[in-house]
Structure 1
Amino acid sequence: MAYVNPSGEFTRDQRYISTRITADGRDGYPVEPGRYRLVVSRACPWANRAIIVRRLLGLEDVLSMAIAGPTHDARSWTFDLDPGGRDPVLGIERLQEAFFARFPEYDKGITVPAIVDVPTGQVVTNDFAQITIDLSLEWRKHHREGAPQLYPEHLRDEIDEVNRYVFADVNNGVYRAGFAGTQEAYEKAYRRLFDRLDWLSQRLADRRYLVGDTITEADVRLFTTLARFDAVYHGHFKCNRQKLTEMPVLWAYARDLFQTPGFGDTIDFVHIKQHYYVVHSDINPTRIVPAGPDLSGWLTEHGRAALGGRPYGEGTPPPLRADEAVPAGHGADQAS
């Protein structure tokens, strides 16, 4: 949920369910293979992070995943991609049902990613930032052999600092521009966004990844916004000083990650465009979904390997499960 304050500034409701699933079960929800279901939409950048982290860590067999459709109404995300419009494991039509099962008077946002306790059908958490950290730390016993260290202890302070900047100015910054209620609020958000993108370009000019020499949680968080930039944010949210393809360092960095197993193969451009252009009818009242942009550039040479670095550290690329692959024609192979 979000609102525009009297000065026209977009404000995100960050009151998430803070219950955690931990190795010691201190919140009443211990890590247990098969007990929980991760609910996502491929359209949502916050959920996309959880998809990427789950895949990089190899948690597919211990934490199942439900994929909601790309559009929703005021009541929440729906499972319209599944036969009969119901999630086959949870047996529900709307994610809202899992929230109300635990909190009958729940009045905050019904958001993804969310993790649901399968035996009770009750939501456990929708705290997107904590979910991916806990997948790295609390679920470690169940990581695949060769899983990367996405939140290594010696880099956590730096990762957290970068994440704070990226969330405030980029991840949430595009929304602050897109949903601004006044010209002044829009221009303030616009300048803040591109100032931070310039800062990131400088940071990444001589290093392959945001923190250290391997992929970390920081790269996951930035990537999901960059992947949506030209397809949605540049036009729909008026973030149009430049396209991503016109920012050489960030474009090469984004392509590098896109071509790294676990990243680009989770991106569904069809769902992404349908979500933003259809759901945000206040911004796009015709609900016409643009035919472009041309996506073929995502698969072109990026040259970033010359900067060194090891994507997975001492680990290995994650395998791709056929039953979780993005449908043909929905990724960078989509016809322009």
Structure 2
Amino acid sequence: MSDNDAQPGSYVEAGEFKRDTNYITTRITADGRDGYPVEAGRYRLVAARACPWANRTLIVRRLLGLEDAISLGLCGPTHDQRSWTFDLDPGGVDPVLGYERLQQAYFARIPDYPRGITVPAIVDVPTKAVVTNDYAQITLDFSTEWTAFHRDGAPDLYPEDRRDEIDEVAELIFRDVNNGVYRCGFAGSQEAYESAYDRLFARLDWLTGRLRGQRYLVGDTITEADVRLFTTLARFDAVYHGHFKCNRHKLSELDVLWAYARDLFHTPGFGDTTDFVQIKQHYYVVHTDINPTKIVPAGPDLSNWWEPHHREQLGGRPFGDGTPPGPPRQAEQVPAEHWLPPQAS
């Protein structure tokens, strides 16, 4: 399999897609216990807007206001068998790391690194070596270890008194939704596909029930759990419904989840980090085993993301006692035509 999300090391067993979850688990912490202390300006987050796992880090970094503390390098939406590449930058070279390929940062840490070259990854700029690609831990550490560099008014995305519930909900979402769409798309047998399909939509039905009477997944504010669900929902109609055969319903046909997703999309940090053009390019061009022609579909019309959601009627405080982030920095803005409706872009 050629996709970062179904990276080398992932495999199909008895027709079922198995994700390689062996990541570089070194952590950047306030006390530096793994040898990498929190330090403003030292680390570079390398991400790709196309990737749902990387998109999480872009959302959390922006919500918490970590732009000054952690610089951002963006890879293009497509890649080859070897690595994500910095083809969006002048000359195809990351201006801070001096690399053409993210693979070079992995090899700087572990020569001949044998696993998938994945985003997101955090790179230690002085050594130009990857510190971690453990995407699930990266966002939690942004919330808990980088507090000294949070902006004034940053929300608490991982409140201590809610962590057990957040972790429980997030695990169910990962198993059946985040990874579930891939288990559908890369299934090697009809039986494995139908099993994954049933689990995916059963979990979406469960989420519908949970969100029918409350605005967010855990408590009355946005948490890490909402970030983790959003990036899959944002890609559902654009990619997963057709490309991965997750086609019982479109997201836009599921009233509760559709309104919930739009509510987040309209929230600063979510929609403005979503690049529908790059998302479609990535999946339809890179997954040649599923789409050998590499034709990127013209549809669907995604302007419906801007329809009113009315979820504010449920109450809730998106940022708790905090405030929304300001506008994204000019250098980090998603092109307007990639996420705004035509009349606005």
Bucket of the pairwise TM-score, normalised by the shorter protein: over 0.9
Once the 2 structures are TM-superposed, how far is the Cα of residue 153 of structure 1 from its aligned partner? 0.2
Map of 1:283-322 to 2, 5 A cutoff? 283-319=290-326, 320-322=328-330
Map of 1:130-141 to 2, 5 A cutoff? 130-141=137-148
Corresponding residue of 1:269:
276
Write out the 4+ residue segments of structure 1 that deviate beyond 6 Å after TM superposition. Answer: none
Q: Which amino acid aligns with 1:129?
A: A
CA distance in 1, matches of 2:239, 2:10: 20
- Provide TM-score, normalisation by structure 2: 0.96
What is the root-mean-square deviation of aligned Cα atoms in Å? 1.1
Unaligned runs of 5+ in 1: none
- Cα gap change, 1:70/1:334 in structure 2, threshold over 3 Å: closer, same or farther? farther
Say which of 325, 328, 333 aligns to 2:336. 328
1:193 aligns with 2:214: no
**3-state SS of paired residue (2:35):** coil
CA distance in 1, matches of 2:118, 2:10: 15
Corresponding residue of 2:62:
55
Which range moves more in the overlay, 3-12 or 149-158? 3-12
Q: Which amino acid aligns with 2:12?
A: N
CA distance in 2, matches of 1:6, 1:37: 36
CA distance in 1, matches of 2:137, 2:204: 24
1:24-44 Cα offsets, whole Å, 9 max, x none, are 000000000000000000000
Say which of 235, 245, 259 aligns to 1:228. 235
**3-state SS of paired residue (1:124):** strand
- Provide TM-score, normalisation by structure 1: 0.99
CA distance in 2, matches of 1:83, 1:334: 28
1:257 aligns with 2:264: yes
Figure out how many residues of one structure are paired with residues of the other and give that number. 336
CA distance in 2, matches of 1:133, 1:246: 32
Q: Which amino acid aligns with 2:21?
A: Q
CA distance in 2, matches of 1:328, 1:140: 31
Once the 2 structures are TM-superposed, how far is the Cα of residue 73 of structure 1 from its aligned partner? 0.5
Identity across aligned pairs (percent)?
74
Once the 2 structures are TM-superposed, how far is the Cα of residue 322 of structure 1 from its aligned partner? 1.7
Once the 2 structures are TM-superposed, how far is the Cα of residue 5 of structure 1 from its aligned partner? 3.0
Corresponding residue of 2:123:
116
Once the 2 structures are TM-superposed, how far is the Cα of residue 109 of structure 1 from its aligned partner? 1.0
**Contact 1:295/1:332 (8 A) holds in 2:** no
CA distance in 1, matches of 2:290, 2:228: 25
Once the 2 structures are TM-superposed, how far is the Cα of residue 334 of structure 1 from its aligned partner? 5.4
**3-state SS of paired residue (2:55):** helix
Corresponding residue of 1:150:
157
**3-state SS of paired residue (2:10):** strand
Corresponding residue of 2:105:
98
